[in-house]
Amino acid sequence: MNVLDEIRRRRTFAIISHPDAGKTTITEKLLLYGHQIQEAGTVKGKKSGRHATSDWMEMEKERGISVTSSVMQFPYADKVVNLLDTPGHADFSEDTYRVLTAVDAALMVIDTAKGVEERTIKLMEVCRLRDTPILTFMNKLDREVRDPIEVMDEVESVLQIKCAPVTWPIGMGKNFKGVYNLLTDTTVLYKSGLGHTIQDVREIKGLDNPELDAAVGAYAAELRDMLELVQGASHEFDLDEFLAGRLTPVFFGTALGNFGVDHMLDGLVQWAPEPQPRAAVERSVTATEPKFTGFVFKIQANMDPKHRDRVAFLRICSGRYEKGIKLKQCRTGKDIRLADALTFLAGERENIEEAFAGDIIGLHNHGTIQIGDTFTEGEMLQFTGIPHFAPELFRRVVLRDPLKSKQLQKGLTQLAEEGAVQVFFPLRNNDVILGAVGTLQFDVVAHRLKHEYQVECAYDVINVATARWVEAASERELEKFREKAHDNLAMDGAGHLTYLAPTRVNLQLAQERHPDIKFRETREI
Ligand code: G4P
């Protein structure tokens, strides 16, 4: 297969959902369809203590949350699917945002018993920034759920996206009979208790087929009536509207019962876009350009305790990776030869020979790669849109063993680099201040410092309310500001000057007093 065909058959997406909607369960079924696992059930519910193939940290096992994002690739139909896992807990929004910059489509999973939940709303906002096409899976139909029409209406009104049901459920809970596919005019019947396998399903062609009445009894007549209502209350599937992020195809099913997930996956490979163009400061880069380009959207330390290394996740934006390729790291201008990039099959890392635009590859990182770094075959490029968010919570690090300050420095630099937390070094003293978007990040960092770097630390509350990255039109202006605001300034982990404001009022005053200085809430790389 030639390079262009390889690129065009890539489908790269992430799952967005509220915790507990079923993301982990769906991920597992997707791996089943991708033949990456033989039988589902290896991914257990979190309460039972075992963890999903996509969760690999001890922390995740202990707390039942997904702390880091992972990447998985699997073939399906004639496509190659790249699934990027998004951290499940609301606290890890920063990491999630960056993952969403690396995908071309997203699958929204909704717990149909609950409807649209808070975290899904936030994640949809992020997807909307780039008009990412969204598919929707309404999960848990094997339970007593809310009226599907009502939930669909809620998606339309709360998330401001048109719904086009592709399938429609027949019954629910104990009486869940299956779904009717509006596009193919086929009913697919559900059998319970087969969630761990790919099932042989029975299909009945035609809504008026008497076989349907024989199979589902009175539900057949109900379905016929219901569909008229549904068609009146919703939209027809329209590919252009979907690709523009304005309409979402909706599928119903149960991830636990492994029913309907394949309908969604079929929709995904058929309709989700091939690798999309990416904006760089200099120009827009098309995926099918012959030369390799890509950017790092995530760094993860100590992914595998056996390897104890750091891996930078790079989204290939154009061209092809080939073992031994010579690449330029545009931020530093350095050339490197890459011979050991990794790919992620069901969480297993493997060295790869080649990869294509749309794929995610892992680069071994010895501290020289940062989030946002662009790699090319020589052209100077800087991909845009990978954000760092101003933290809202701050703690001063207290080291239990003062002799370990070197390890602390190293651990924090690495954890900051991977985006687990932000670290600030005030200009006026030797404090080490951590900044986070959510409180759980502090626990994760303390845990990881202890287990991965053998440093025990505690935190003090500190009088910082918010942080802003500062910039000025000229070096001279910045220097002047540096003198005046010295006591409130710090360097962040990547060496950027940051203003730490004790109160919001203080920040406001500083902004008024220094109109020539830009106080940035996000630092876009
Ligand atoms: P998440 O990654 O989005 O947080 O959700 P996850 O897949 O872990 O699912 C959350 C809970 O919902 C799990 O139950 C899971 O078994 C259940 N679940 C997922 N899909 C379905 C479905 O289609 N139907 C039903 N009835 N339940 C579903 P748990 O209680 O946390 O785990 P367990 O101990 O029951 O295994």
Q: Give the residue whose CA is nearest to atom 30 of ligand 1.
A: 45
176 closest CA partner among 141, 213, 219: 141
**Confidence at residue 505, expressed as pLDDT on a 0 to 100 scale:** 94
Nearest residue (by CA) to ligand 1, atom 33, is 45
Task: Of 296, 295, 298, give the one whose Cα is nearest residue 420.
Answer: 298
| Residues 318 and 10: beta-carbon distance below 8 Å | no
What is the number of other CB atoms lying within 10 angstroms of the CB of residue 151? 23
Q: How many angstroms is it from 155 CA to the middle of ligand 1? A: 21
Instruction: Show binding-site residues for GTP.
Output: 17-24, 85-89, 139-142
CA distances from 279 to 91, 126, 276, 285, 456 (A): 28, 17, 10, 6, 42
Structure tokens at 305: 């305790």
Q: What is the DSSP string of 38-98?
A: SSTTSS--GGGS---TT---HHHHHHTS--S--EEEEEETTEEEEEE----SGGGHHHHHH
The vertex-99 CA angle with 469 and 284, nearest 5°, equals 80
8-state DSSP, 168: E
User: For residue 50, what pLDDT is reported?
Assistant: 39
Binding-site residue ranges: 17-24, 85-89, 139-142
Q: Which amino acid is residue 198, in one-letter code?
A: I
The whole-number pLDDT of residue 285 equals: 98
Pocket test for ligand 1, best of 16, 23, 25 (most atoms within 8 A of CB): 25
Counting from 1 in the atom list of ligand 1, the atom nearest the Cα of 25 is: 7
**What number does the ligand 1 atom closest to the CA of 255 have?**
23
pLDDT digits (tens, 9 = 90+) for 364-411: 887 788 888 999 999 999 998 777 777 889 999 999 888 898 899 889
Query: What whole-number distance in Å separates Cα of residue 10 and Cα of residue 359?
Result: 7
What Rg value do the Cα atoms of the chain yield, rounded? Answer: 25
Integer Cα distance of 417 and 424 in angstroms: 12
**Both structure tokens of 134:** 């969204």
CA distances from 116 to 21, 62, 151, 426 (A): 10, 28, 8, 42
Q: Amino acid letter at 100?
A: L
The string of pLDDT tens digits covering residues 172-214 is 999 999 999 999 999 999 999 888 888 889 999 999 999 999 9
Per-residue pLDDT tens digits for 75-115: 999 999 999 977 655 555 567 788 899 999 999 999 999 99
For residue 47, the CA-to-ligand 1 centroid distance in Å is: 10
Among candidates 98, 125, 71, 63, which has minimal Cα distance to 441? Answer: 63
| Tokens, residue 11 | 């489908």
Using the mean position of ligand 1's atoms as its centre, give its distance from the Cα of residue 301 in Å. 28
Q: Tell the burial category of 7 from Cβ atoms under 10 Å away from its Cβ (0-12, 13-18, 19+).
A: buried
The SS3 assignment for 112 reads: coil
User: What are the tokens at 107?
Assistant: 């699958």
* Tokens matching residue 244: 């523009």
**Cα 308 to the center of its chain, rounded Å:** 23
Ligand 1 centroid – CA 417 distance (Å): 33
- Spatial CA neighbour of 107 closest among 276, 269, 256, 297: 269
One-letter identity of residue 517: I
Q: What's the CA-to-centroid distance between 255 and ligand 1, angstroms?
A: 8
Q: Report the pLDDT value the prediction gives residue 443, as an integer from 0 to 100.
A: 85
Q: Rounded to the nearest whole angstrom, what is the distance from the C-alpha of residue 205 to the centroid of ligand 1?
A: 32
Report the atom number in ligand 1 closest to the C-alpha of 254: 23
Residues in the ligand 1 pocket, defined by CB under 6 Å: 17, 19-25, 44-48, 88, 139-140, 142-143, 254-257
What local confidence, expressed as pLDDT, does residue 93 receive? Answer: 58
Structure tokens at 9: 């058959």
- Can you tell me the distance from the alpha carbon of 95 to that of 522, in angstroms, rounded to the nearest whole number? 14
CA angle, 80 then 23 then 73, to 5°: 20
Q: Please tell me the distance between residue 63's alpha carbon and the centre of ligand 1 in angstroms.
A: 15
Instruction: Note the residue count of the chain.
Output: 525
CA 40 to CA 199: how far, in whole Å? 12
Residue type present at position 434: L
In sign, the C-alpha dihedral spanning 481, 483, 487, 489 is: positive
What b/e string do you get for 212-230 counting C-beta neighbours within 10 Å, with b at 16 or more?
Answer: beebbeebbeebeebeeeb
Which single residue is written with the structure tokens 């909706």?
Answer: 250
| Ligand 1 center from residue 108 Cα (angstroms) | 15
- pLDDT per residue rounded down to tens, the chain (525 residues): 899 999 999 999 999 999 899 998 898 898 888 876 666 554 444 444 434 444 334 444 544 434 344 788 889 999 999 999 776 555 555 677 888 999 999 999 999 999 999 889 988 988 988 899 999 999 999 999 999 999 999 999 999 999 999 999 999 999 999 999 999 999 999 999 888 888 889 999 999 999 999 999 999 999 999 999 999 889 999 999 999 999 999 999 999 999 999 999 999 999 999 999 999 999 999 999 999 999 999 887 655 555 556 788 999 999 999 999 999 999 999 999 988 888 765 555 667 889 999 999 989 887 788 888 999 999 999 998 777 777 889 999 999 888 898 899 889 988 887 777 899 999 999 899 999 877 778 888 898 899 889 999 999 999 999 999 999 999 999 999 999 999 999 999 888 999 999 999 999 999 999 999 999 887 766
Instruction: Name the token pair of 495.
Output: 């060496």
Neighbours of 326 (CB within 10 A): 11
Q: Which atom of ligand 1 is closest in space to residue 26's alpha carbon?
A: 7
Ligand 1, atom 32, lies closest to the CA of 45
346: CB partners within 8 A, 6+ apart: 31, 36, 37, 53, 72, 74
**Ligand 1 atom at shortest distance from the alpha carbon of 27:** 7
> Which of 256, 258, 261 for mutating ligand 1's site (highest number of atoms within 8 Å of CB)?
256
pLDDT score recorded for residue 309: 65
Q: Which of 16, 17, 18, 20 has most ligand 1 atoms within 8 Å of CB, for mutation?
A: 20
Q: What is the rounded CA–CA span in Å between residue 30 and residue 240? A: 26
**pLDDT given at position 308:** 58
**pLDDT for 119:** 86
Count of beta carbons in the 10 Å neighbourhood of residue 488: 20
Residue with CA closest to ligand 1 atom 35: 45
**What gap in Å lies between CA 168 and CA 232, rounded to an integer?**
14
